[in-house]
Amino acid sequence: MAKNIFRKAKRFPKMHLAVVGSLSFIALMLSILPSSEVEATRSQIELISPKALPEAQLPVAETTSSTLIEHNEQTSATTEVAEQPPAIEWQRFKVKSGDNLSKIFKRAGLGAKDVHKIAQADKKTKHFNALRPGQTLSLHIEDNQLITLRIEKSLLESVEFSLTDTGYQQETLVLEPEMRQRFVTGEISSSLYLAAKSAGLSENITMKLAEVFGWDIDFALDIRKGDQFRVLFEEKYLDGKRIGDGDILAAEFTNNGDTFAAVRYEDSNGDVNYFTPEGRSMRKAFLRSPVDFRRISSGFTRERYHPVLGVKRPHRGTDYAAKTGTAIKAAGDGKVIWRGTKGGYGRTVIIQHGGNITTLYGHMSKYNSKVKKGSRVKQGQTIGYVGMSGTATGPHLHYEFRVAGVHKNPQTVKLPAAQPIAKKERANFNKVANDMIASLQQKAIEQLIASESRAAE
Q: How far is the CB of 401 from Zn ion (least distance, A)?
A: 13
- CA 292 to each of CA 151, 295, 339, 375, 401: distance values in angstroms, whole numbers, following the listed order: 41, 9, 21, 23, 17
420 membership: H or E segment, kind and range = none
Concatenated DSSP letters of 123-190: TTT-TGGG--TT-EEEEEEETTEEEEEEEE-SSSEEEEEEEETTEEEEEEEEPPPEEEEEEEEEE-SS
Q: How far is the CB of 399 from Zn ion (least distance, A)?
A: 8
Q: How far is the CB of 398 from Zn ion (least distance, A)?
A: 4
Q: How far is the CB of 385 from Zn ion (least distance, A)?
A: 17
CB-nearer residue toward Zn ion: 229 or 300: 300
Total residues in contact with Zn ion, by rule CB under 5 A: 4
Nearest to 367, CA basis, from 342, 333, 402:
342
Give the type of residue at 453. Answer: S
The rounded distance, in Å, linking the Cα atoms of 418 and 385 is 25
Q: How far is the CB of 297 from Zn ion (least distance, A)?
A: 8
The rounded distance, in Å, linking the Cα atoms of 204 and 32 is 6
CB-nearer residue toward Zn ion: 6 or 260: 6
CB-nearer residue toward Zn ion: 174 or 287: 287
2-10, 219-227, 322-330, 334-342 -> range binding Zn ion (CB under 5 A) = 2-10
CB-nearer residue toward Zn ion: 8 or 398: 398
Nearest to 142, CA basis, from 122, 163, 121:
163
Q: How far is the CB of 412 from Zn ion (least distance, A)?
A: 16
The rounded distance, in Å, linking the Cα atoms of 440 and 183 is 8
CB 138 within 8 A of CB 149: yes
Q: How far is the CB of 337 from Zn ion (least distance, A)?
A: 20
CB 436 within 8 A of CB 266: no
Q: How far is the CB of 328 from Zn ion (least distance, A)?
A: 14
Q: How far is the CB of 7 from Zn ion (least distance, A)?
A: 13
The rounded distance, in Å, linking the Cα atoms of 207 and 407 is 33
Sheet with strand 228-238: strands edge to edge:
178-187, 228-238, 241-255, 258-266, 272-275
CB-nearer residue toward Zn ion: 1 or 192: 1
Nearest to 335, CA basis, from 353, 349, 314:
353
CB-nearer residue toward Zn ion: 353 or 398: 398
426 membership: H or E segment, kind and range = helix 426-456
Q: Binding string, 215-254, against Zn ion, x = CB under 5 A?
A: ----------------------------------------
The rounded distance, in Å, linking the Cα atoms of 91 and 72 is 9
The rounded distance, in Å, linking the Cα atoms of 415 and 265 is 22
The rounded distance, in Å, linking the Cα atoms of 49 and 176 is 6
CB-nearer residue toward Zn ion: 110 or 364: 364
Mark residue 134 as left, alpha or beta (left: phi above 0; alpha: psi -120 to 50; beta: remaining): left
Q: How far is the CB of 5 from Zn ion (least distance, A)?
A: 8
- Interaction of residue 1 with Zn ion, rule CB under 5 A: yes
Q: Which of residues 308-327 bind Zn ion (CB under 5 A)?
A: 319
Q: Binding string, 71-110, against Zn ion, x = CB under 5 A?
A: ----------------------------------------
Q: Which of residues 371-430 bind Zn ion (CB under 5 A)?
A: 398
Residues 6+ apart with CB under 8 A from 61: 136, 152, 155
CB-nearer residue toward Zn ion: 233 or 361: 361
Q: How far is the CB of 234 from Zn ion (least distance, A)?
A: 44
CB-nearer residue toward Zn ion: 106 or 313: 313
Q: How far is the CB of 6 from Zn ion (least distance, A)?
A: 13
CB-nearer residue toward Zn ion: 215 or 300: 300
CB-nearer residue toward Zn ion: 236 or 363: 363
87 membership: H or E segment, kind and range = none
CB-nearer residue toward Zn ion: 300 or 367: 300
What length is written for the chain?
Answer: 457
Residues that bind Zn ion (CB under 5 A): 1-2, 319, 398
